[in-house]
Amino acid sequence: MSSQPQPIFLDGATLEGGGQLLRVALSLSALTYLPIHIWDIRANRARPKPNQPTGGLKPAHLAAVEWLANATNAETQGMFKGSSKLLFAPLYRGPSGASSGVRDQSSSQAKNGLAAGVWQNVYDGDTLSRRDSHIRLNSPGSVCLILQAILPYLLFHSLDNASTAFQDREGRAASIPLRVTIEGGTNVSKSPSVEYFSQVLIPLLVEKIGIPEIATTIIKRGWSSGRADVGVVQYDLMPFTHGSKLSKFELSNRGEVTRMNVSILAPGSAVRNSLRKKVTQRLLASYPDTNILYPIDEDTGSGARLYLLIVAETCNGYRLGQDCLWGRKINSATPDSVAETVIRALERELDKGRCVDEYMQDQLVVFQALAEGTSKVESGKNARATLHTQTARWVSAQVLGLTFDEQGNCSGCGFKVGENYMERRLDEAVADLEKVRIA
């Protein structure tokens, strides 16, 4: 059966009513080819300025929509800045995905920079070495939120990626490496930082859930504080191989905190030293048997740019983080204030007893939904799911027909890399109707 289903309608004002709803819906639609229609996009967001409309697509949201639309040959309506409605209908182009926005660097058109699509084949001599893609923002919109929207597609979509040029340890055909470069903000207010993604989210996805390695390279920082500045971040990853599935996972038994990783970005040695001293004193007072490391101690070069991230590592390999991007003028009291804010937030987070922090919780939902079998994430003591997490679960349920229990456990759809999931859903619906008819 190959008829195109009706779009899945999603009210953009539901629950969190912001960009999270849009990103999760886009991720699942791009992978499954199930069309979606979202209205009242980001309806619950405050007006940026008086007399301006609420919500709608901002440049960073639009960048993710446009990239996924080009990658999936999607038909769209409402794909423009400020739009409050979006129809997104990916077009399935066969099991190899060979026509999904790939261009060849060896062609004269590609060499002249004129080719269309989101991917460019890169060769080492006559051997295909990787595929590159570039996403550009003219403002410091969050690089990480763009990555969040496209990461499931990067990992699970079969971009004709079973190549004899690459083999795993058993000699089987492996995936072609991907490199995605994103221009935007690395340290942006109300958004996860590149440091949080590289120190918390990516290690947990790789070590605890089983996704392939992702390497992060910050080429240039981009800030929303001080003078707005656009940065550049490069991500290198190896997608899942064609036909593979993500196995169910369970995150439980967090264990004791054994190490604290402190990342400081601040102007001048005096501010950084003051911040380091305050953080060290407070952490030793609360966690005297914990090692304290400073993986990042960097001068921002601006009196309006200060960022602190503290990541707690446990004996069982879990990481929980809290951070602060200071958005006001820095003075002598700022280091103490920032340190106290982050450490108190981390203490509250650790007291909940769960394996992931409040910012990581919602990032796991898509992977629960795509995995085969029931994936479980320990919720801790008296810890309710965040509004972002509730939203991600709601979207996953609407698009994939899944259910989450009160503890947030979910039996995923068992998505197989390269499958036409839309076709599977249609066939299942026909089979169910036939059972009803026979009964």
CB contact at 8 A, 375 and 409: yes
Q: Tell me: the pLDDT tens digits for 7-30?
A: 999 999 999 999 999 999 999 999
Q: Which contiguous run of DSSP H or E holds residue 436?
A: helix 421-438
Write out the two tokens for 47.
């007006």
pLDDT at site 110: 37
Confidence (pTM): 0.90
User: Helices 421-438 & 19-32, crossing angle to 10 degrees?
Assistant: 80
pLDDT at site 227: 87
pLDDT at site 431: 81
pLDDT at site 212: 95
Residue 12: partners with Cβ closer than 8 Å, 6 or more residues away: 21, 22, 38, 39, 40, 41, 42, 43, 55, 84
Tell how strand 102-104 and strand 8-11 pair up: unpaired
Classify residue 51 by its DSSP letter: T
Residues of the chain with pLDDT under 70: 1-4, 46-54, 93-116, 159-174, 439
pLDDT at site 158: 75
pLDDT at site 167: 57
